[in-house]
Amino acid sequence: MMSISRLVQGVSPVFFLACLLVSTAAHGQVSTASVNGTVRDSTGAVVPGANVLLRGVETGVERPTITNEVGNYLFLNILPGAYTLE
């Protein structure tokens, strides 16, 4: 028959790993996203140096950026919510 102390020794590492996994999963619930795209003119040509503005609908927080040499823009670490893009 297994003694209590032997049982506790066997369970302790398993319990520790379970707690570690749960805390990691809980931390993973903080989610952000990215928004990216390409600005093009009416002829389809890319527009380098264009001003792009991402605005939170509920918060009003604005995040400006400028397109790169091939017309691409990128916003990182965007919190969940509704946004407008100008």
The predicted structure's pLDDT at residue 7: 47
In angstroms, what CA-CA distances link 83 with 43, 69, 74, 77? 27, 25, 14, 13
Tens digit of each residue's pLDDT, the chain (86 residues): 555 555 445 555 555 555 555 555 555 566 999 999 999 999 999 999 999 999 999 999 999 999 999 999 999 999 999 999 99
Number of domains in the chain: 2
64 and 83 part of one domain: yes
71 and 44 part of one domain: yes
Distance of alpha carbon 19 from alpha carbon 47, whole angstroms: 50
43 and 25 part of one domain: no
Whole-prediction pTM value? 0.65
The predicted structure's pLDDT at residue 3: 56
